[in-house]
Amino acid sequence: MTAKVDLTGKHFLKLLDYSPEEIQYLIDLSARLKAEKKAHQSQKVLEGRNVALIFEKTSTRTRCSFEVAAHDLGMGTTYLDPSGSQIGKKESIKDTARVLGRMFDGIEYRGFGQDIVEELAKYAGVPVWNGLTNEFHPTQMIADTLTIQEHFGHLKGIKLVYMGDARYNMGNSLMVVSAKLGMDFVACTSPKYYPDQALVEKCRAIAKETGASITLTDSVAEGCKDADVIYTDVWVSMGEPVEVWKERIDALKPYQVNKEAFSYAKPEAVFMHCLPAYHDQGTGVGRDVYEKFGMKEVEVTDEIFESERSIVFDEAENRMHSIKAIMYATLGADKETE
Ligand code: CP
Ligand code: NVA
């Protein structure tokens, strides 16, 4: 395959750093690698390489995706868990970057501030991939747009409504990717939970070039009108104190994704969620929330989560194919296989 786009050596920290063509290239490469894997083709094009996976917050999908994708590509992996390394406590990010950069061909980082992953990238000397920060979750975006493209056949003009806490990693990232790819993004939530105004302005400027639109509304009827995708995420994110649950529930209860929200959407609209989700009583947090606040299902009802409209497990599977594409392209495997 001849790559028009060359991402060799490039970090993957946030989609603001990527052009629409580069993002579309990663989506299409993910689709190609997915098809190859389904056809049981060997993908061991990065044999002998090694990647470090730093997780300062917990994970199921992102960790497993990096590990399976790396192994499929023939690479070795080293997992550093939230308590099992010197990072931040006994060793600065700058020093950690210079140490790991001598041993590994690429580094994944999941943790807190975006400034940390940016600092890691500055000193590592090898590609650094953002596996989630407070501000952004860019690997999730390639999986999500791949899933939407698979489902609807295109991305331009898709109306994606994000309900819930839109000022955190998921709301920010979906707004950015929508702006880049010409989608109509709506943050449908209480105004206190709108994305940061400076980021909204930035995305509106990008939208002018791509034909996208960015709308903020506190009206569910208006926000969800003719939606193609209704998307939500947990109302309290990793690293936030449990005390914020009360204010979140008070403010975000009207923005639960349920039958009413979907009644305004297109008949063929789908439900998406990055997962994990509090949609039933199957989790400790879900049970605590019920005990304290009387809500049996939180950001989405079980009815919607389990319905035909829900494409959340396609989305979860696509995390692996898209993370594979991100490593493949930034480690130059597409150039090597030309
Ligand atoms: N969606 C997502 O990032 O899931 P994990 O927290 O399980 O990695
Ligand atoms: N907003 C969530 C996303 C989890 C994938 C969190 O940061 O916990």
pLDDT at residue 337 in the model: 56
Two tokens, residue 152:
């609807």
Q: 174-195 burial, b if ≥16 CB within 10 A, otherwise e?
A: bbbbbbbbbbbbbbbbbeebbb
The whole-angstrom separation of Cα 108 and Cα 122 is 14
- Cβ-Cβ contacts under 8 Å for 271 (sequence gap 6 or more): 229, 230, 231, 257, 262, 300, 304, 305, 307, 309, 310, 311, 312
pLDDT at residue 2 in the model: 47
User: Ligand 1 pocket check: which of 54, 62, 320 to mutate, most ligand atoms within 8 Å of Cβ?
Assistant: 62
Two tokens, residue 256:
């639960």
User: What pLDDT, in 10s, does the model give residues 289-307?
Assistant: 999 999 999 999 999 999 9
The whole-angstrom separation of Cα 60 and Cα 277 is 12
Sheet strands (E) in 283-322: none
Tokens 């979860």 locate to 316
The whole-angstrom separation of Cα 78 and Cα 181 is 34
CA of 28 to the centre of ligand 2 (A): 25
pLDDT at residue 36 in the model: 98
Of 153, 148, 189, nearest in space to 168 by CA: 189
pLDDT at residue 205 in the model: 98
With a pLDDT cut of 90, the percent of the chain lying above it is: 95
Two tokens, residue 267:
């008949």
Contact between 263 and 227 (Cβ < 8 Å): no
pLDDT at residue 128 in the model: 98
Section 49-54 average pLDDT: 98
Atom of ligand 2 at shortest distance to CA of 134?
A: 7
Contact between 109 and 130 (Cβ < 8 Å): yes
Contact between 11 and 121 (Cβ < 8 Å): yes
The residue from 110, 273, 279, 309 that is catalytic is 110
110 catalytic per annotation:
yes
Starting at the earlier edge strand, list the strands of the sheet with 50-55: 76-80, 50-55, 106-110, 128-130
Position 314 confidence tier, pLDDT thresholds 50, 70, 90: very high
Position 85 confidence tier, pLDDT thresholds 50, 70, 90: confident
Contact between 286 and 280 (Cβ < 8 Å): yes
SS3 129: strand
Section 239-261 average pLDDT: 97
Phi, psi (5° rounding) for residue 39? -90, 10
The whole-angstrom separation of Cα 146 and Cα 154 is 9
The whole-angstrom separation of Cα 280 and Cα 298 is 8
The whole-angstrom separation of Cα 249 and Cα 285 is 13
Two tokens, residue 114:
């975006």
Contact between 331 and 74 (Cβ < 8 Å): no
Mean pLDDT value across the chain: 96
CA of 137 to the centre of ligand 2 (A): 8
The residue from 11, 49, 61, 137 that is catalytic is 137
Query: Mean pLDDT lowest for which of 158-172, 224-238, 323-337?
Result: 323-337
Contact between 236 and 167 (Cβ < 8 Å): no
Tokens 């898209």 locate to 322
140 catalytic per annotation:
yes
Section 162-178 average pLDDT: 98
The whole-angstrom separation of Cα 228 and Cα 158 is 6
Q: 87-103 burial, b if ≥16 CB within 10 A, otherwise e?
A: beeeeebeebbeebbee
Section 233-254 average pLDDT: 97
Section 26-43 average pLDDT: 98
Section 36-57 average pLDDT: 97
319 catalytic per annotation:
yes
Atom of ligand 1 at shortest distance to CA of 275?
A: 1
The residue from 105, 140, 149, 279 that is catalytic is 140
User: Ligand 2 pocket check: which of 57, 137, 232 to mutate, most ligand atoms within 8 Å of Cβ?
Assistant: 137
Ligand 2 atom 1: the closest Cα is on which residue?
237
Phi, psi (5° rounding) for residue 42? -70, 140
